[in-house]
Structure 1
Amino acid sequence: MTEPSGDSKPKRPVVVPAVALVAVTAIGITALLGGLEERPDPAPPQLAVGKTLDQGQFETEFVESKVTLVKAENAYSKDKRYLDVVFKVTNKTDETVRVGSPPDAQNGGSGFGSSLLKMTPQIKTPYGPDLYAVSKDVQSSQLQPDVPTTVVARYEMAGSAQPPSKVTLDVGTFENLENPLTGNTFWTLTTEEGYLDKAETKEVAATVTLPVKAEGAS
């Protein structure tokens, strides 16, 4: 009979610290789930002069941005300079709607204007920009159904302030929702969390960059 070898002493088990096991497990789960870092949402489309955006309720062409000088009407008034952002807007609904106003620190704006979420750089004016439609040199606050209409967002420039070389607009879109209690539908700005969420933020559908034409440029 063969004698057992002299190295018959049982080997001590290898002790792995619990912290190391937890770390390894966490790394495995993290790898399985694709990592802890969240992937950022893709940037909205970048649009330029002449491009068109389907906003749901409207179809909008971004025409230009320019500096406009309005001469004083009499000796008691002064010349004024404005930065004008010009759109061609088609109301795609069957009803006449208001041009509205862009959002500001106090409210979320209204009508077509509410979709002009942000302009960079900001042109600070006491009461915000004037937003109006122009048809045959007549200003209006309305957009008729299915009629491409020039819309101007006019920002008054203070004193001798220099205009920016370009402006960038964050623009939203509208979605048609139904009231479950009445069955009536209504247009509202598209949001990222849903229109019933108190923490909702307006969805930027496109970022539009327009060079600012100098005063008197054609």
Structure 2
Amino acid sequence: MTEPSGSKNPKRPVVVPAVALVAVTALGITALLGGFAEVPDPAPPQYGEGAVLDQGQFSTQFVTAKVTTQKATADWDTDKRFVELVFKVTNQGKATAMVGLPPDKPERAAALTSFAGSLVKVTPQVQVKGVPTVYSLSKNAKSGQLQPGVPTTVILRYDLDKGATPPKKMTLDVGGFVYEGGFNDPSFHWSMESEEEDDVQQAVVKAQVTLPVHDAETA
């Protein structure tokens, strides 16, 4: 039988897998956004004055930051001014820990094992004479140690240069510690949590703590 004039064979529907549609859509969106961009690491949690942070080996309260003035004791002497950061630190390990010093550069923090070593970066940099002083304070006696299970006041003190202006606030990038065995050592110990970046081990910043710097007190 002859087909009617002008008739056409119906076109078969083309089935496109849903996965392919999703892939094409994703590629289109990526192109609109400028290509495959590297997603930045999320910012560490933010804390303020009085916050308590579990650092693994230490439980640390960030008590306050303040300017302290020490009056001269002789006519030839001059008043001294300090910026002091005050912490309440509990050593959660089983052995005595050291107070230590903050790293002079953030990239050196990963190799440190002391409490102050976990203060990976302190900003802004304070105009100081020499390196800061760090000590624990128990019954008015200064020490460089933290005994297990004992909440202890720790002071990080910056000796201000003459005429230096203290900052209004200070931000601390704070690391943490993990209890693990050594590479060729079966014994376990506390070490700074770190990750490799550009073939260099860098301390992981677990939190940022911002402290207002309170007005001068006289010591």
TM-score by length of 1: 0.79
What is the aligned partner in structure 1 of residue 99 from structure 2? 99
CA, structure 1 residues 39+149, in 2 after alignment: closer, same or farther (shift >3 Å)? same
> How many angstroms does 1:110 deviate by?
4.9
Of 155, 168, 173, which residue of structure 2 is paired with 1:170?
A: 173
Contact 1:30/1:36 (8 A) holds in 2: no
Match of 1:31 among 27, 34, 48: 27
Q: Matched residue pairs, number?
A: 190
Match of 2:188 in 1: 185
1:116 touches 1:169 (CA, 8 Å); kept in 2? Answer: yes
| Larger strand proportion of the pair | 2
Whether 2:148 is the aligned partner of 1:148: answer no
Structure 1 segment 10-159 matched on structure 2, within 5 A: 28=24, 31=27, 36-105=36-105, 108=109, 110-159=113-162
CA RMSD of aligned residues (A): 2.6
Q: Percent identity?
A: 44
The amino acid across from 2:93 in the alignment is T
Instruction: Please give the secondary structure, in 2, of the residue aligned with 1:193.
Output: strand
2-structure distance, mates of 1:130, 1:67: 15
Where structure 2 has 5 or more consecutive residues not aligned to the other structure, the ranges are 1-22
CA gap 1:33/1:99 in 2 versus in 1, 3 angstroms: farther
Per-residue Cα deviation, 1:89-126 (whole angstroms, up to 9, x for no partner): 00001111110110004954551011001111111434
Q: TM-score scaled by structure 2?
A: 0.78
- Alignment pair present for 1:161 and 2:164: yes
Distance 1:147 1:76 in 2: 41
User: Match of 1:85, SS?
Assistant: strand
Give structure 1 stretches of 5+ with no counterpart: 1-26
Q: Is the 8 A contact 1:175 1:188 kept in 2?
A: yes
- 3-state SS of 1:114 partner: helix
1:71/1:177 CA distance change after superposition, 3 Å: same
* Inter-CA distance 199–137: structure 2 relative to 1 (3 Å threshold): same
